Amino acid sequence: MSKSGIGPPRIHKIQALLGILFLAVTGWKVAGSVPDISKFVLVLAPHTSNWDLPFILAVMYGLGLEINWFGKKEIFAWPVGGVFKWLGGIPIDRSSRQKVVQQTAQTIREREQIVIGIAPEGTRSQSSHWNTGFYYIASLAQVPIVFGYLDYARKVGGFGPMMHATGNIEADMKVIREFYGGITAKYPHNVGEMIVSQRARPLGAEQVVQHEKR
């Protein structure tokens, strides 16, 4: 049990069974164990295919972990929107990145248990850089970053290392690149560059305080 005595959020047994069955039918396996902490940001990478969502959910469900994840608001339209929300989906407007970062960090701070899964590439197509929202959400919420992955070459998904944002994003991204460099995506040619945009700017904790006072 974690130091807080709470541990990570767990799913219903039916969802866990569905995850296990999906993995068994597709021949996938899980690796690693669920971190024994109540809150963390889960990196979901690499992301190059629509298949990534069902596989990552099956892996997490197979391990008994409940996660929430972001998706562009368009995919939550009827008739599948309700299903995606039941699966932990949270619709977002990707045009307001800073607001999403602040609100998500605030939500994490207020909850006793929550795991937020984020795909930093933000798109299945090849991207020029990783979006840094996952990093600043974890930093502002003061929770760890856990490396989640799908390795299509080995048909294995699960958990890698855990790290804390140090504030030196370039150094931290080097650690991230070293891990994900050995993971094979569904479509390797679409894997985004694991670098941060020159436009990326840290969001100070005072911004969250100001947001909370509104």
Element of type H or E holding 162: strand 156-163
Q: In angstroms, rounded to a whole number, what is the distance separating the alpha carbons of residues 81 and 145?
A: 28
Q: What is the pLDDT of residue 203?
A: 45
In terms of C-beta density within 10 A (0-12 exposed, 13-18 middle, 19 or more buried), how is residue 190 classed?
Answer: middle
Q: What is the pLDDT of residue 103?
A: 85
Helix, strand, coil percent content, the chain, rounded in steps of 5: 40, 20, 40
Q: How many helices and strands, by DSSP H and E, does the chain display?
A: 7, 7
Q: Cis ω on the peptide bond leading into residue 46 (within 30° of 0)?
A: yes
Q: What is the pLDDT of residue 75?
A: 85
- CA distances for 154 relative to 54, 158, 184, angstroms: 17, 12, 8
The answer to whether 32 touches 159, Cβ cutoff 8 Å, is yes
Q: What is the pLDDT of residue 213?
A: 36
Q: Cis ω on the peptide bond leading into residue 79 (within 30° of 0)?
A: yes
- Block mean pLDDT (10 aa), the chain, length 214: 70 91 97 94 94 94 90 84 85 74 90 93 68 93 97 97 95 95 93 69 41 36
Q: What is the pLDDT of residue 199?
A: 53
How far separated are the first and last CA of the chain, in Å rounded? 36
Least Cα distance to 195 among 134, 146, 142, 129 occurs for 129
User: How many residues can be counted in the chain?
Assistant: 214
Placement of tokens 């039916």 in the chain = 14
Q: What is the pLDDT of residue 92?
A: 74
